[in-house]
Structure 1
């Protein structure tokens, strides 16, 4: 079964938004830095122990602030793309740029919302586990 594991939000102030999610909801920081395709922009990646929230710098206003895309970890890329093409043959399917660590393909749903697809996962992220072995 596919798993939603990643959501990206664009903002003009990634530090402030990351602090909000950490202080209000207790999310933990996974990674900081630039993100592919926007080397000058900064990103902050947070987690609740299972789900990854990417907060992306949008100070140059590449697109509106807010929800940018979400990511689904899938088991079989070829089968998923076949089902997608049957459902909406007219929508573009784009391979992510070489070296992109978080997804292999980008597609959209019937409303145009962007979805990253990955067989390998996002940023090699594994759920955080407590000493007891349970997911945190």
Structure 2
């Protein structure tokens, strides 16, 4: 049974959603979609709903770590996706979410228990607009990257990318997939030999395409440190940390592989 999904949603747990939303709006031209009475704020780059959930007990989150929290996918047929998920994972949890602008409709979990929000809508984005800056990269750290890759390929028809197959041939565990719009990296958590690797399990960092790197870096440097990425990395030229220490890669020339044979950059 074929089921498909597209990355559309990114959730943070935040101590100060107002401050975070202001930072991303000023530096990466995100636009506000709306706010909740509980302090949650949702922004968009035209393709993603990027939501800063106000950290609080009534969210009932299993993982209460501040920062990047979980992803969400727009799916073609929710019933088919849930059926396939339970066929694949008979004891898998299927949790109803609050819906609306700040949440998905249903939550499932990947093989390493990381939350995935699902929606048959596009998470309140409305009419899609492809523009730059835009988020084009999401990276996870996993214990078994190949198992996570297989899950997304099977469940959502993600494609394994050439950069991933190259690493298989090299005996490396890094895996890369895509849904046609976003590069999805799955790095091994225990990877101490890789230059620039950060041991943050689960959601690790994101990446934005930009068209004016020098100007962006100059503005970021007024508030936060900016560091170049290792030359050995196939994607991204620089990394910053936002106001709650989440990693954000910036790329203009290198870009990201977002499907088989399809690269996008900010030039």
Question: Once superposed, which parts of structure 1, at least 4 consecutive aligned residues long, lie more than 2 Å away?
Answer: 59-62
Residue 108 of structure 1: aligned partner: 109
Q: 1:61 to 1:118 in 2, by over 3 A?
A: closer
| SS at 1:45 equivalent | strand
**Residue-by-residue CA offset, 1:59-96 (whole Å, 9 max, x unaligned):** 56962212232211101112111221122222211122
Residue 30 of structure 1: aligned partner: 33
Q: Which has the larger radius of gyration?
A: 2
Are 2:14 and 2:52, in contact at CA under 8 Å, matched by a contact in 1?
yes
From 5, 14, 17, give the equivalent of 2:17: 14
From 29, 49, 60, give the equivalent of 1:52: 49
Unpaired runs of 5+ residues, structure 2, are: 132-267
How does the TM-score come out when normalised to structure 1?
0.78
Are 1:13 and 1:59, in contact at CA under 8 Å, matched by a contact in 2?
no
Q: Is 1:76 matched with 2:73?
A: no
How does the TM-score come out when normalised to structure 2?
0.42
| SS at 2:108 equivalent | strand
Counting matched residue pairs gives: 122
| SS at 1:42 equivalent | coil
Are 2:12 and 2:51, in contact at CA under 8 Å, matched by a contact in 1?
yes
| Distance in 2 of aligned mates of 1:66 and 1:110 | 21
| Distance in 2 of aligned mates of 1:48 and 1:28 | 7
Deviation at residue 19 of structure 1 after TM alignment: 1.4
| SS at 1:80 equivalent | helix
Q: 1:59 to 1:81 in 2, by over 3 A?
A: closer
Higher RCO (CA-CA < 8 Å; seq separation 6+):
1
| RMSD, matched Cα | 2.1
